[in-house]
Every structure is written in structure tokens, then in C-alpha cells.
A and B are shown apart, each in its own frame.
Chain A
């Protein structure tokens, strides 16, 4: 009886650090592209909603419907249309970020206290001035919270994108499964979990840095 394959072969890991590093980097790049593009798109949508609030319903509903579609299904459904390409993966990944990013950006902008907006207007801020210098900074905590969720979610989705040939840590998983090589797929899986947690922690830190005024809420009378 042949020796059973152990869950993790540490010697393989030690000798393949470069592969692991490469795939991790690839994973990060895919995530960053998706979240960045998603944020730009969501911000644009949020501005449209800010101007005409009635568009929020349809936009939110559409993003919600897309979000409900299981990622494996969305990735593969796009393949016959846009092929096994980066574009296919990014279309799906960006679409998944929309719901949370649009919702949070809108909520953040709306969360600015009414008297602050009124004071800003009365002081003579232009509409754009008010957006960039008053509303956006104050909306930051909520927006970052959204980015946090979007990033962590996207990291998970990128693992599935490997199924349509996109690489990243998902490649280790899919290829490992194909080769019946536990070390590879378990490592890929564990690394993606660690990456997600690291991203989460990073954003928690970012949130604190972005709001120095919230840290000092102590001596009010």
C-alpha cells in the first residue's frame, strides 16, 4: 500500500516559496484592479444618485440582483461572451463590488449632519467644494467600511476566478485539486484566508487614520 499523501508537505512549500509569492502577488493585483475600478464606478453612481435620489432604487436593485448570482455561475456565464480573459473576470468582480460600495458611499454622503451642510452652503461653498471638502471627508468612515467589505469579498471571489484561468491563489487550489496534490490546494486555500484577514486588518487601521476627529471625542461639555 503506497504511503498516503499527507495534508501538507512542508518540503514542497519550502522549495516553492517563489511560486507562492508570485501567486499571492497575482491575487493581490487582481483584487486591487477590481476594487479600484469598482470604487470609481460606484462613486460615479453615487454622484448620480446624489443629484437625482430617485435613481437609487433601480441602481441598488440591479446591483443587488447581480450580487445574488453565485460567482461560479457569473464567471462561467461570461466565458462564452468574453472568453477566458482578464476582462471576463474583472467584469464579474467589479459587478460584485457595486452593491456594497454604492450603498456605503451613498449612505456616507447622506450621513453628513444637516446643519453641517447648511452651514457649508451658507458660508459660500460651491456645490463641488462642499462635496470634496465637507461631505466626502465626513463620509470617509462609512466609505472605508464599504471598501473593507468589498476588498475582503473580492479576495474570496478571485479564488474562484482561477476556475476560468485567472491565476492567483485560486490557481494553486484548482491545479492542486486537478493533480490530487493536497499540499498545493490546502496551501492555496489557507493563504487566501490569511490574505483576506490581512486586508481586513489593514482597512481597520485605515479607518482609524482617516478619522482623527473621531478619536478625540472625550472632553465635550
Chain B
């Protein structure tokens, strides 16, 4: 109970809302770097995934990516990149945010590619054939038939990637990066429990908001006639979220 009051006091303290470690700054930092990583990740992954999903070529790539993406501990990736960056540069900003951003992008790509690939491959082949028969060109078939039908699965992949990105950004603080993770790092170093808890709660909250709002968006944009993705997370084909 004492902890709860301390926590509320921490949030109420104006000192935490101004200055270098101000909540708004850290929050914004976290959101921006996450959004940036997502955009880069989508820009890289989506076109590639749409291509291999539509044509069916590159299944090996999709499978390998899924397996790697799932087996790769994100903290390890972050740290390895950090080590590489340390060798490559002595610029502090690059050093602290570079590895984090790179890791975030790298971790966002597999779920997007896997899900988009699987989603497109699962579209009823008969429908694609009909669309072709109607005279639609490849890109049109993709845009008007395949993507709308694969949308639930694709959006799930994006959702998984987004949450992953937010979580990796939090970890970034451990190697000196910014964002909400800083509060956790500081809290541990100074044995400042309210600060620690505040950081943890804000990160958790942000992740949940991202997840729920993207889920809501998914429900709104997917045509009601398309069944929601219900497949059990069973084998490589299923969009399993790697965990950070």
C-alpha cells in the first residue's frame, strides 16, 4: 500500500514532468522511435511480403524468417548490434539509438513477412483464378481480392510487430538509449521503486494501448464477411509472436 501511495506521489511530483527526464519527453521519444521503426520495417517488409505472397515464390525465405524471428532473443540481438556499433563508431547518439533502432526494425520484419505471406497464401486459389479469368491484372488481383481477404492475418502481423517494437524500445534503455525504459534503468540503479514501477507501468500501458487500438482498427477495417483469424498457433505457418 505504501508502494501505491509512493507511486501516485511520483506521478504527482511536478519535477517528473519537466527537465531532462520529463515524462512527456520520454514518452514522446518512445513513441517516435517506435513509429519510426515500424514505418521503416513496413517499408521494407510489406512490398517484399506482398510479392512473395502473391506469386508464391520465396517460400523458403518466409519459412526461414519465421524460424529465425522466433528463435532470436531480442535482447541478444540488441546487444550484438551494440557491440558492433561500438567497434564502428564513437558517436554517442548513434551508439545509443542506432543499435536499438536497427534491432527494432530487424525484429519487426519477420512477423510482418510471415503473416502477410501466410495470409495471402491462404486465400482461396479458386477466387484468384476467377479474378484472373475476369481479366484483372496481377496487381489488381492483389489489391482487390487477395489483400482484402488476407487483411485480418496481415493486420495481426502488423500488430505483433508493433508490440514487439515498443518492447524492444524499452530494452534499448539498457544499452543507453532513451524512451520509457530509462525509468526502469534509473529505478534499478538508484533503488528508486516508485520510479521503477512507474516506468514499468507506462511501458506496459503503452504496449496494451498499441495492441488494443490496432485490434480495434483491425475490426473496423476488415470486411465483416471475412472471418477473423482463428488459427491455433501450431506450426511455422502460424503467426506466433516472438516475445521480448
Contacts and interface: CB of A to CB of B under 8 A. Distances in A.
A185 B79 contact: yes
A25 interface: no
Interface string A63-85: 00101111111101101110000
Given A71-B167, A156-B242, A80 B232 contact: no
A192 B76 contact: yes
Nearest to A78: B200
A70 B207 contact: yes
A100 interface: yes
A76 B80 contact: no
Interface stretch (A14-22, A145-153, A208-216): A145-153
Q: Per DSSP, are chain A's interface residues mostly helix, strand or loop, or mixed?
A: helix
B72 A73 contact: no
Nearest to B231: A107
A38 interface: no
Contacts of A157: 73, 243
B232 A142 contact: yes
A208 B226 CA distance: 35
A103 B233 contact: yes
B75, B196, B199 — most chain A CB neighbours (10 Å): B75
A80 B196 CA distance: 9
Interface in B197-217: 197, 199-201, 203-204, 207-208, 211
Nearest to B235: A145
What is the size category of the interface that chain B forms with chain A? 35 or more
Contacts of A196: 71-73
A182 interface: yes
Interface in A196-210: 196-197, 199-200
Nearest to B172: A72
A104 interface: yes
A39 B115 CA distance: 26
Interface of A: 4-7, 65, 67-74, 76-77, 79-81, 96, 100, 103-104, 106-108, 142, 145-146, 149, 152-153, 155-157, 159-160, 163-164, 170, 173-174, 177, 182, 185-186, 188-190, 192-193, 196-197, 199-200
Interface of B: 3, 67, 70-77, 79-80, 82-84, 86-87, 163, 166-167, 170-171, 174-175, 181, 184, 187-188, 193, 196-197, 199-201, 203-204, 207-208, 211, 232-235, 240-244
Question: 7 tightest A-B contacts by CB?
Answer: A107-B232, A156-B73, A70-B167, A189-B76, A77-B200, A73-B203, A73-B200
10 contacts: A72-B244, A73-B167, A77-B204, A104-B234, A107-B232, A142-B232, A142-B234, A189-B83, A190-B80, A192-B73
